Structure 1
Amino acid sequence: MKVPAMVYVAITTLLLVTVTIMSAMNFPFNWVFYTTVIGQVFVVIMVYKVLTDNYQTEKTFDHMYEDRPVNPKDLGSLPEKRDQF
């Protein structure tokens, strides 16, 4: 069974947030230290899994960013910001 790359991202994030909470609550040093070491190992695993994931998309850099999607054919009609000054 293949585990999606985002599962590794979620596990690593939760683990490192746990380290932050544990250090703020004055947990014993050995707990915080070993959790940090495990978190660093998970960061390396996460980066490897994300970079080797077989993710494909139809979008290109011509589509700009996800927060402001633009069709490639509409790029010529975008107003230039320097004309506003």
Structure 2
Amino acid sequence: MKIPVMLYVAITTLLLVIITIAVNLNTPLNWIFYLTCIGQMFVVIMVYKVLKDNYTTNKSFEDYYEDHPIREYDNYLKT
């Protein structure tokens, strides 16, 4: 079973947010240390999975941004 790449991103983000909350709740230092080490491993795994993902798109740099097409930007500059 292939795990979606965005699940790695979500787990890593959730873990790092939990670390931030734990620090603010004065969690013992050894828990924070272990969670931080695990978080760093998850970041490395996440980056590897994102970069190795077989993702293709039909977009190119000529397409600019989807929510602000380049034609609208050109019209804005002319005014």
Q: Relative to total residues, which structure has the larger strand share, 1 or 2?
A: 1
Q: Can you give the 5+ residue segments of structure 1 that lack an aligned partner in the other structure?
A: none
Higher relative contact order (CA 8 A, sep 6+): 2
Runs of 5+ in structure 2 lacking a partner?
none
Structure 1 counterpart of 2:59, one-letter code: K
Alignment of 1:6-85 (within 5 A): 6-68=6-68, 70=69, 75=71, 78-79=74-75, 81=77
Aligned length in residues: 79
Q: Which of the two has greater helix per residue?
A: 2
Residues 6-26 of structure 1: CA deviation (Å, up to 9, x unaligned): 000000000000000000000
TM-score (normalised: structure 1):
0.82
Greater Rg over alpha carbons, structure: 1
Deviations 1:28-79 (A, max 9, x none): 00111100000000000000000000001111111112332x2xxx74x823
Q: Which runs of 4+ in 1 moved over 3 A?
A: none
Sequence identity (%): 58
2 CA distance for matches of 1:32 and 1:55?
A: 35
